[in-house]
Amino acid sequence: MQPFRKGRYLVRLAETADDLRCAQRLRWLCFVARNGDTDDGQQIDADRLDPDYRHMLVEDSETGQLVCCFRFLTLPNGRDIHRSYSAQFYNLAALQDFDGPMVEMGRFCVHPESRDPDIIRIAWAAMTRYVDDAGIEMLFGCSSFIGTEPEDHAEAFAMLRERHLAPRRWLPRVKAPNVFRFARKLRLRKPDPKLAMAAMPPLLRSYLAVGGWVSDHAVVDPQLKTMHVFTGVEIRAIPPARKRLLRAVSH
């Protein structure tokens, strides 16, 4: 994908070791520093999967600061889904039958000092451009809620159970040892739509806006102090009006 500009922002793929380290540094600030870890300016968030993924960067062209990044892994079809980060936490056997190109998007983060809502829109525009160029048919990943107490996210989980569960043919099954089965536990809870959507993480709201769906349980991550749900969206199922809006931003 060729770099492109939108307003003050430059979007490009990481090409060097320094680019990757900048992304890993931003990830540490977003995912680890919030838990109170001491920062000496050198810590990074890195794992064994980073070399297998491409890394998308959104930079403020006026300051040179990296304001957003995410990584993504392209798969020819569902038979390779075991290579994904998500497969560590979810039984994705059902998705092995998906016969089109797929891409996993992960480690999505926005600099904690950045407040411009255009940043998330531009990041989604970058993924839209890649999805179009590569003929991707499914986008998936993990969407995280900050905090590991289920009651703190109950309104959002109840809304996901009521309106946004995965189709049965693709439904991820339990694999991780510590999960909250919200579809079962909250089956009698009627969500308040306004409160529920306000409690949704921004990335998950973006998935849901284009017809995304989620697993019926959340995985508890004690290391990052989050709970996350598997999230997927079939590209052909995105509403046409939403597709036009995303493509307008991406070109």
- What domains can be seen in the chain, in order of their start residue? 4-250 (3.40.630.30)
- The tens digit of pLDDT for each residue in 215-228 reads 999 999 998 899 99
Q: Please, which pLDDT band fits residue 238 given cuts at 50, 70 and 90?
A: confident
Among the ranges given (154-163, 173-182, 201-210), the one the predictor scored with the smallest mean pLDDT: 201-210
Residue 34 is predicted with a pLDDT of: 86
Instruction: Give the relative orientation of helices 118-134 and 240-250 as an angle to the nearest 10 degrees.
Output: 100
- The tens digit of pLDDT for each residue in 183-215 reads 999 999 999 999 999 999 999 999 999 999 999
Residue 208 is predicted with a pLDDT of: 94
Question: What's the one-letter identity of residue 15?
Answer: E
Residue 99 is predicted with a pLDDT of: 95
Q: What is the mean pLDDT of residues 79-106?
A: 97
Chain mean pLDDT for the chain: 94
The answer to whether residue 250 scores a pLDDT higher than 70 is no
E-assigned strand segments in the chain: 4-6, 9-13, 54-60, 66-75, 90-91, 102-110, 138-146, 173-174, 179-180, 213-214, 218-221, 226-234
The answer to whether residue 247 scores a pLDDT higher than 80 is no
Residue 251 is predicted with a pLDDT of: 65
